[in-house]
Amino acid sequence: MAGNIKLQICETADEVSVEAAKVFADIIRSIPDAVIGLATGSTPEQTYEELAKIHKSEGLSFSGVTTFNLDEYWGLNGDHDQSYRHFMNTQLFDKIDIRPWNTNVLNGAASSPSLECEAFETRILASGGIDIWLLGIGGNGHIAFNEPGSPVDSRTRLVSLSEDTIEANSDGRFFSDPAEVPRCALSAGIGTIREARKLVLLATGLKKADAIAAAVEGPFSPDCPSSLLQDHPDCTFILDQDAASKL
Ligand code: F6R
């Protein structure tokens, strides 16, 4: 399928972060009560740093903004230093004026995963839907924790992590040993993500080049979950030269 995905190719990974932060800052300037989807992982860290800088130097206010995060490890509570709640608090939320009660990260220690996921979807609907969702991509093409095989209409749910993902997340950046990586996560579904009005996916480095080529130029197929963004009306990939090198 020749998709609609727009490509913005930057010289460096630093430039990817600056460009991504600009897109989010512009949305927040034009919609002060924007509803924003966020991602964790290494790729968006510098984008969050840039947004915190813009908040500090230009007074960009997040006080009306509501956020929803893509995913959370199942079994970790928000105080765990590898939880995505902890990541978001330390990388972004604690550095800006967002109201903590407007930040939605799935609770990995909820007593019922299905009720937790249902409540997350209900809160997205009640907030009027997501204006823009920031995404990363796994080396196997996953988005959020939607691993290969995830259906296009999947919703927020408890999922198993693939061996590739467990490996990728235990390379010392996050966990130091694969045995420490939780085997399951709560993840927004592909259907949930596709309903956002705008999508921005970031990828940097050669490790992402095959996944980017499959997402942009490969078939529209659950075999590469990110290819299921090809028919989204407003989806941009911001890439560095390395991530774009197989296009
Ligand atoms: C994280 C997420 C994942 C990551 C992906 C890439 O919230 O949804 O899909 O975006 O695993 O991770 P990094 O950026 O660490 O390469």
Give residue-wise pLDDT tens across range 76-103.
Answer: 999 999 999 999 999 999 999 999 999 9
Q: Is the CB–ligand 1 distance for residue 37 below 6 Å? A: no
Which atom of ligand 1 lies at the shortest distance from residue 146's CA? 9
> What's the mean per-residue pLDDT of the chain?
96
Say yes or no to pLDDT of 1 above 70: no
Distance CA 134, CA 143 (A): 10
Confidence tier at 3 by pLDDT (50, 70, 90): confident
pLDDT tens figures, 155-178? 999 999 999 999 988 888 888 889
Q: For a pLDDT cut of 90, what percent of the chain falls above it?
A: 93
Residue closest to 20 by CA, chosen among 53, 46, 41, 57: 46
Confidence tier at 74 by pLDDT (50, 70, 90): very high
Which atom of ligand 1 lies at the shortest distance from residue 169's CA? 15
Residue closest to 174 by CA, chosen among 184, 162, 182, 163: 182
Which atom of ligand 1 lies at the shortest distance from residue 69's CA? 7
Helical (H) or strand (E) element with 192: helix 190-194
pLDDT at residue 53 in the model = 98
Contact (Cβ atoms closer than 8 angstroms) between residue 108 and residue 77:
yes
- Which pTM was predicted? 0.97
Say yes or no to pLDDT of 244 above 90: yes
Beta bridge partners of 10: 240
* Active-site option among 55, 69, 71, 240: 71
Q: Strand (E) positions, 16-65?
A: 35-38
Residues contacting 237, CB < 8 A, separation 6+:
5, 6, 7, 8, 200, 201, 202, 203, 212, 215, 216
- Nearest CA residue ID for atom 4, ligand 1: 136
Residue closest to 71 by CA, chosen among 38, 113, 24: 38
pLDDT at residue 176 in the model = 86
Mean pLDDT to the nearest integer, 55-74: 98
pLDDT at residue 222 in the model = 98
β-strands 71-73, 66-69 pairing? unpaired
Q: Is the CB–ligand 1 distance for residue 42 below 6 Å? A: yes
CA of 207 to the centre of ligand 1 (A): 12
Q: Is the CB–ligand 1 distance for residue 138 below 6 Å? A: yes
The order of strands in the sheet holding 199-203 is: 6-10, 235-240, 199-203, 132-135, 35-38, 66-69, 103-104
Q: Could you tell me which residue, 59 or 2, shows the higher pLDDT?
A: 59
Distance CA 146, CA 231 (A): 17
Confidence tier at 138 by pLDDT (50, 70, 90): very high
Longest dimension (CA), the chain: 46
